[in-house]
């Protein structure tokens, strides 16, 4: 019962591996060694625009939370954490 793979299966596997290697070699041949891959670095204007976007996003979030009465966030009471599991762990220490 414990036979190895049949001849046709090994031939199929070898053909598959050879095809993969050929594709990889073709892909590497198409690339220039000096050519950088990926996205070009951001320009200073793009960086500034992105930072402004993040700043606005943060302020919008705060504005929304203030409107709901949830800003500034309340500081957690270190002596009595709300999570009972943490409370037990803290007592154990």
With tokens 């943490």, the residue in question is 86
Spatial distance between the Cα atoms of 49 and 89, rounded to a whole number of angstroms: 45
Which stretches of 1-93 are DSSP H helices? 7-30, 44-67, 84-92
* Burial annotation 11-34 (CB, 10 A radius, 16+ → b, else e): eeeeeeeeeeeeeeeeeeeeeeee
- Whether this prediction's pTM lies above 0.85 is answered by no
Instruction: Tell me the per-residue pLDDT of 10-68, one tens digit each, with 9 for 90 and over.
Output: 888 888 888 988 888 887 777 655 566 788 889 999 999 999 999 999 999 999 998 98
Is the peptide bond between 72 and the residue preceding it cis, with omega within 30 degrees of 0? yes
Residue 8: per-residue pLDDT: 73
Residue 1: per-residue pLDDT: 45
Question: What tokens does 57 get?
Answer: 């996003």
């Amino acid at each position: 019962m414990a036979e190895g793979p049949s001849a046709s299966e090994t031939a199929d596997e070898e053909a598959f591996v050879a095809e993969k290697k050929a594709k990889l070699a073709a892909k590497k041949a198409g690339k220039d060694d000096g050519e950088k891959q990926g996205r070009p670095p951001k320009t200073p204007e793009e960086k500034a625009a992105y930072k402004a976007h993040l700043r606005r996003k943060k302020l919008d979030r705060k504005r929304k939370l203030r409107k709901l009465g949830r800003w500034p966030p309340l500081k957690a009471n270190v002596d009595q954490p709300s999570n009972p599991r943490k409370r037990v762990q803290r007592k154990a220490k």
